[in-house]
Amino acid sequence: MRGSVAAVAAALLCQAVPLAGAAVRPLCGTGRNAGVCFASVDRNGRLSAAERAKLAAAAPVAVDIVSSRAFAAELAAFHAALPARWVKANRYWRGFDPVEATAAIQTAFAGLHIDTRGGAQAQRDARFGGNLAYEGSTDARTGERFILLNRYRLDRPAAGLVGTYVHEAAHKAGYSHRAGQSPDQKCEPPYVMAQLARKLADPESWPGYAAGKNACRFWRTMK
């Protein structure tokens, strides 16, 4: 199953995305996931056509990966392998249900706008804080939900964008992590689910990524 997910992800990420209208047409999963659609990319037209196409191409990949059996199985296995004492002391993993989490992220994807944020603060965040994206909010007038990608951090692998979509959708679904930086922040549910999506989107680069500081330390101890 993992191989088939990776193959589908690679095919989708390599597909040409029509540039005209890419910002407004629904961005859906494929096959049985065709009913799960992001609402738009770059509604304000702040990106180049190439940037917009890259962000658009990652959207269906995120939907298909989170909807896959491989994602659900690996998330359940990761959760089951976490040290019991660590889970007991961590409010974000206590009572965590992998099946429920997967369904919640799928629901959060539906109708979600992928917008961007620029300006001096975003530039500082990119340089000093490493912020890739922001949870965004809900438009008080229209009820539309959106996330904000940092425009200064768009030049990264497509699998990284997939992970970002999963992370921010996890927040929309009610999953959180510690407000301050800590050695274990990368091991909180939104980060782990994003890392897993990245793993399935680009398994070849995963060993190097998992060994680095941006991945949860438990990936390096689990077999």
pLDDT on residue 90: 86
At 53-74, the pLDDT tens digits run 999 999 999 999 999 999 999 9
Closest of 88, 152, 142 to residue 117, by C-alpha: 152
Predicted local confidence at residue 26, as pLDDT: 61
Give the three-class secondary structure for 114.
Answer: strand
| Residue pLDDT, tens place only, 72-92 | 999 999 999 999 998 888 888
Query: Which pTM does this prediction carry?
Result: 0.88
Contact 193, 105 (CB under 8 A): yes
Query: Whole-angstrom Cα distance, residue 79 to residue 192?
Result: 10
CA distance 40 to 28: 10
The per-residue pLDDT for range 144-156, each reduced to its tens digit, is 999 999 999 999 9
Count Cα neighbours of 71 within 13 Å in the Cβ-side half-sphere: 29
% the chain with pLDDT above 70: 85
Name the band, by pLDDT with cuts 50, 70 and 90, for residue 183.
low
Tokens read off for 45: 């037209």
Query: Is residue 7 classed exposed, middle or buried when 0-12, 13-18 and 19+ CB atoms within 10 A define those classes?
Result: exposed
Q: Which pLDDT value is given to residue 17?
A: 38
Q: Is the dihedral of CA 26, 52, 42, 169 positive or negative?
A: positive
Average pLDDT over residues 174-199: 84
Q: What is the DSSP letter of 129?
A: I
